[in-house]
Amino acid sequence: MERSPVFLQNKLYFLVMVAVLCTTVIGWFNLNSWFIIALLACRLFDGKPLDNIKTAFANPVFVAYFLFVLSGAAGFLYTHNVRREGQIVSKEATLVAIAFVMCSGRFADRRTYRQLITAYSLLLLVTSLYCLGHALRHYLASRDASVFFYHPLSEPLSQNAVFYSVYILFGIVFLLSPDGEPAIGSFSARTRRAMRIALILFFLGMMILLSSRLMLVIMVLILVNIFFRRYSYRQNKRLLIAAAAILIFAVGLLSVVDNPIRERFRETADGNLTLIRQDSFKSYMHFSSTELRMLQWRFGLEILNARPAWVFGVSPGDSQDQLDEKYTVTNMYIGNRADGPDRHFRGFLGFNFHNQYLETLVRSGLVGLTLLLTIFVVLLTRARKYGIKEGWFIVLTLAVFFIPEAPLTMQQGVFLFCFFPLLSLSRPMEAMTHQTSDPG
């Protein structure tokens, strides 16, 4: 039986895919939407559209994403805010578009897979150097070293530092994968290996500067896992002990010496969690990140109980409105009301639940949450079936990331949740020689 062509072997399709990655990382989301539409059109009309659609719907991965988006779209039947419902559904449609591109046929062979990882790594390198250059310019003017850390560092990209650290972490995971060596044909094998090591070390440094507490912990766990799997043999005991000593020393140094990373971890323990039981607050009151999340989670459960809305949720369109109402009635800071609904300073208004599982539960009820968890189960099952370690790392990272954040409320988060797991599952492997190399 003749095998279908590989999607990324078409140079135009490859360039559109790179454009999607570029506009996502840089934060050009309007342009990003158009490139995603173009990529979807390329896949749909690459061959016979009906055959491509049938192939996608025969793939459990695509079906899982499709049903999850459909559960959100069902909110049109009972929402009070049709406009916001439409905005949310159009944003989440990216899940279906990217899943279709990667599940409706063979996405990549080994050459194009390596080329895409190389393009992504170089993109992260360029954007990171741009951020560092921007920070250096501000430092020379102000002598304020904080511009090299956390949100100020990623601000030139209009990116949240936590999201950008996820991009960087996934770049490290792909570089450490069996096909992670940069695919630059004009360079010797020795030069490519040196480039690979240099990129990994540079990205490790960026992870420290970005100072995302959760991503730093996950990065260490991933590195320890990879190192022990590769160097746990008897002949490498000295190397193993030396690496462990360096890691312990680095962690100990960061925990003892005053630095922004230590302050980020210390801030987690600040505050009084008894505040979350209060029914009213002073409008000027400050909340630590832990306090605010616990309070938002309490609000979510109260919203679900009030209707009740545990089965189908309150709808994606109404979810944020009801959370904003909680901020208002408990007298949390919401800006100056005299400036009207379009005021620039809105305080806590617009802050999501900071937990994707709760966000989905409030939006689409147990139906939506079950479908979200189904996606994780399907992805992990595929990663286990084909023994793709980077697939495990990426999917589990996202599963943990969904606990303190609600990334699917943002376009870059929607892309994260779909593209990177499916890219990892698209890695061609010797064990899959007689099977298709798509995520299904």
Measure the CA–CA gap between 77 and 328, rounded to whole angstroms: 27
- State the Cα–Cα distance between residues 420 and 219, nearest whole angstrom: 16
Asked whether residue 433 carries a pLDDT value surpassing 90, the answer given is: no
User: Sorting pLDDT into bands at 50, 70 and 90, what band is 173?
Assistant: very high
- Both tokens of 390, joined, read 């980077």
Question: What tokens does 198 get?
Answer: 């240099």
277-293: per-residue pLDDT in tens?
A: 888 888 888 888 888 99
Q: Give the tens place of pLDDT for each residue, 367-406.
A: 999 999 999 999 999 999 988 999 999 999 999 999 999 9
Distances (CA, A) of 415 to 32, 33, 93, 410, 439: 10, 11, 10, 9, 16
Identify which of 117, 160, 206, 30 has the alpha carbon closest to the alpha carbon of residue 426. 117
The answer to whether 440 and 101 have CB atoms below 8 angstroms apart is no
DSSP code string of 300-336: HHHHHHHTT-TTT-S-HHHHHHHHHHHHHHTT-----
For 251-286, what is each residue's pLDDT tens digit? Answer: 665 555 555 666 655 665 566 667 778 888 888 888
Q: Do the beta carbons of residue 20 and residue 36 sit within 8 Å?
A: yes
User: HEC profile for 188-236?
Assistant: CHHHHHHHHHHHHHHHHHHHHHHCCHHHHHHHHHHHHHHHHHHHCCHHH
Query: pLDDT at position 243, please?
Result: 59
Give dist(CA 294, CA 298) in Å, integer.
6
Q: Is 61 helix (H, G, I), strand (E, B) or coil?
A: helix
Residue 33 is classified by DSSP as H
Q: Is the pLDDT of residue 4 over 90?
A: no
Assessment of whether the complete model's pTM goes beyond 0.75:
yes
Q: What's the pLDDT score for residue 307?
A: 83
Segment among 125-139, 206-220, 302-316 with least mean pLDDT: 206-220
Token pair in block for residue 193: 């290996």
The token pair that represents 72 in the structure block: 């959100």
